[in-house]
Amino acid sequence: MDGVTFRSTPRIHQINLSNGGVPKLPVPETRITAKGLDGDRQRSRVYHGGPDRAVCLFSLELIEALQAEGHSIFPGSSGENVTLAGVEWERLRPGSRLRLGGQVRLEITSYTTPCKHNAGWFRGGDYKRISQRRHPGWSRLYAKVLDEGLVRVGDPLILEGR
């Protein structure tokens, strides 16, 4: 497959679902559809979900860097559906396209706005530590689904050429 090479093998580190709210908890696999991940629900559809926000993504390496700063964030805690590892996060932006596993294709649509429900994971309640506006490159990302399918923890990730 055509794609961009990363510094390590990019993959799905964790898949996260909840019945609404955070944290989202790990599952080994799920189906991703245009409506989002099977078994996942958002607390407020005004701010989360919908076709352009069907999947929320975040970086394991950024989570680990935030932990090193003293924050108690962990994969799934900030509401991301898919925690990715080995990704050059700074290269992802609206318009970027990803392939997860052998079936699913996503297009990044926007940076997420941090939510006050994440304050508990941040030292001093500073949930805006993952705000794109305040800290460019540290935001979670929303994506729409171009191709649906099953994803599993450990599946490879490919950033498609533009």
Whole-model pTM: value is 0.90
pLDDT of residue 7: 53
Chain CA centroid to CA 64, Å: 14
Predicted confidence at residue 1, as pLDDT, reads 37
Residue 94 to residue 102: CA distance in whole angstroms: 22
Q: What is the model's pLDDT at position 161?
A: 75
pLDDT of 84 reads 98
Strand ranges, E, within 76-134: 82-85, 97-100, 104-111
Q: What is the reported pLDDT for 2?
A: 45
At residue 44, the pLDDT reads: 52
pLDDT of the residue at 143: 97
- Whether 153 and 37 have beta carbons less than 8 Å apart is answered as no
Name the CATH architecture for the domain at 11-160.
Answer: Beta Barrel (2.40)
Average pLDDT for runs of 10 along the chain of length 162: 57 94 94 93 58 94 97 96 95 96 96 91 96 96 97 96 66
Per-domain boundaries in the chain: 11-160
- The pLDDT tens digits for 2-30 are 444 445 799 999 999 998 888 999 999 99
Which pLDDT belongs to residue 103? 94
